[in-house]
């Protein structure tokens, strides 16, 4: 299961739309490692003032790796995080997460990061299981 959904939040969802704030809070509490990584890369993006920041530290265990995969493989979760933090997330392997300002999504750097070449260049034998 990707998220720990409280009975109250499930009831809200069954009645209609869930707010981004409610959804993002569920993500934050359900996937704390993924939240920490995304928060850090978004903070780094804000701190640099540039168009790009990334996180390249492998997760400490399979549990954390799974959190990151679940968070970034889900369109709903990734979209919620992007709206919450105000930047586009990009993902390679099981650990490399990048944040791009929305205006930089048409940049050479973004296209290089999400390209097949970028994916291949970010491979290593240590990361084969991710």
- DSSP class per residue in 34-88: HHHHHHHHHHHHHHH-SSEEEE-PPPSSHHHHHHHHHHHH-HHHHHHHHHHHTSE
Confidence of residue 71 (pLDDT cuts 50, 70, 90): very high
Question: Residues 15-32: pLDDT tens digits?
Answer: 999 999 999 999 999 999
Using CA atoms, how far residue 103 sits from 65, 69, 113, 114, in Å, is 29, 25, 15, 16
What is the structure's pLDDT at 1?
60
Report the percentage of the chain scoring pLDDT > 90: 69
Token pair, residue 51, equals 């168009």
Q: Between residues 125 and 73, which one has the greater pLDDT? A: 73
Query: What are the domain boundaries of the chain?
Result: 7-127
Q: What is the pTM of this model?
A: 0.87
């Amino acid at each position: 299961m990707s998220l720990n959904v409280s009975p109250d939040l499930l009831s809200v969802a069954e009645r209609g739309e869930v707010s981004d704030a409610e959804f993002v809070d569920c993500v934050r509490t359900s996937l704390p490692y993924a939240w920490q990584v995304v928060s850090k890369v978004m903070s780094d993006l804000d701190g640099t003032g540039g168009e790009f920041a990334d996180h390249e530290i492998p997760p400490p265990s399979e549990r954390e790796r799974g959190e990151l995969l679940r968070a970034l493989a889900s369109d709903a979760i990734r979209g919620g995080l992007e709206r919450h933090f105000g930047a586009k997330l990009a993902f390679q392997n099981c650990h490399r997460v990048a944040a791009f300002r929305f205006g930089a999504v048409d940049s050479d750097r973004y296209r290089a990061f999400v390209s097949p070449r970028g994916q291949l260049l970010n491979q290593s034998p240590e990361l084969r299981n991710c």
